[in-house]
């Protein structure tokens, strides 16, 4: 297996609208666009996470079997310093959460969905916001 020089982790999300996904991740979650070829594909990053946003015209979406197309329970996991403030900021921006705030021994988390229904977990480790 080849490792990139940047030591990034890449995750592919199949999206209905590449531009809407770019806007969601860059405007609300602090991602930066590395490459965009809407409506087919975009590559956005946040720290060591590289998120590949693949529209219907992309090779990544075309290679996905039809029975695997709907969003599932998998999600990217973003660590947030002040979860309460982040929830308030995103609600003020008009975003809707897909879960209630859940607390456990490891920390607190809440789920958000991107415009295509892909889940994003906002997580504050125990002892942090």
- In the chain, what are the domain boundaries? 9-125
Could you check whether the bond before residue 39 is cis, i.e. omega within 30 degrees of 0? yes
Specify the CATH architecture of the domain 9-125.
Roll (3.10)
Reading the chain (129 residues) residue by residue, the pLDDT tens digits are: 444 556 888 998 889 999 999 999 999 999 999 999 988 999 999 999 999 998 888 877 777 666 665 566 778 999 999 999 999 999 999 998 999 999 988 999 999 999 998 999 999 998 865
Summarize the chain as % helix, strand, coil (round to 5): 20, 35, 40
73: tokens are 């329970």
Task: Tell me how far apart the 2 most distant CA atoms of the chain are, in Å.
Answer: 44
Q: What is the pTM of this model?
A: 0.82
Q: Give the span between the Cα atoms of 97 and 43, in whole angstroms.
A: 24
Give the tens place of pLDDT for each residue, 82-103: 999 999 999 999 998 999 999 9
Phi and psi at residue 59, in whole multiples of 5°? -65, -35
């Amino acid at each position: 297996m080849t490792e990139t020089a940047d030591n990034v982790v890449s995750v592919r999300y199949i999206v209905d609208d590449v531009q809407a996904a770019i806007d969601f991740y860059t405007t609300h979650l602090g991602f930066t666009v590395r490459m965009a070829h809407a409506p087919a594909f975009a590559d956005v990053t946040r720290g060591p996470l590289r998120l590949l946003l693949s529209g219907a015209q992309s090779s990544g979406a075309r290679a996905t079997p039809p029975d695997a197309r709907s969003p599932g329970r998998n999600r990217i996991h973003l660590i947030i310093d002040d979860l309460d403030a982040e929830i308030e900021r995103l609600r003020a921006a008009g975003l809707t959460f897909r879960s209630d705030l859940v607390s456990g021994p490891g920390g607190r988390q809440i789920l958000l969905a991107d415009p295509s229904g892909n889940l994003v977990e906002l997580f504050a480790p125990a002892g942090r916001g």
